[in-house]
Structure 1
């Protein structure tokens, strides 16, 4: 991973009154026909502790969460899913974490899509920040999510995915950790 100027990293964030960097974000829970979930791995703040999470990122000014989710999914994976094909938001969460050494708070809307077609991944759309922070992108078996000791965000992802696969989305937006 390459070094990057923190001002570049936090250009789309805002500094809250409590000194925490904040932004609104949209993420996508992508599940393929083989019951695998797409996750992005980051180890920017601690190379000994990788964290895996759903693809997504910051909502740009005048952009809807749904449009941001679709755009971010394409940037990070090469998967082109139109915004109207995303269900949700199926869940929302507030996440606090350290990113590039700074305390951050992210207000996330999580959408869902089930892919039955091609799931080949591309990373040529990664931004400079993603190239500096993303260690990997990979498909994870849904059963592996509930048994791994690796840190997965959101922590409720395994149960959320299981419910979506078994019952579909019921139209309710859940608040998760």
Structure 2
């Protein structure tokens, strides 16, 4: 293992907090609606929209699976809005995020997101591309549309290797 190796971590609210929120019904505020036939899990993530003429977008992304170990050479961030990924397929997937170090990404972290759980990447947070595992997977994505440039990419001079812990 080298200093360019990233071990995949289990996803917890505390570990992911510097990068955004986990989207899960576990411990969420909830209450019945629709004459008691539906349970609403309320306000699970903070949708952030910066700039003028901003509007939320709801899309479906269909991701092809990545194999491990994964070579991580590119991360991106969205300076004008958050980006939520909610899986529609019952499979685990990876969320790769990195702290910001004066405008460039710091050392990335990789989180294994269990089936049925989503994440909301905070505005201006470096993150990897959608990383499905095992099979093609669909995700409901909520992010920002509107005026302004909302994509910044960074290519690492030396890629990282993302691996499963032993």
Q: Give the TM-score category using the shorter length.
A: under 0.3
Higher helix residue share: 1
Bigger relative CO (Cα 8 Å, ≥ 6 apart):
2
Q: Normalising by structure 2, what TM-score?
A: 0.27
Q: Normalising by structure 1, what TM-score?
A: 0.25
Higher strand residue share: 2
- Structure whose alpha-carbon radius of gyration is higher: 2
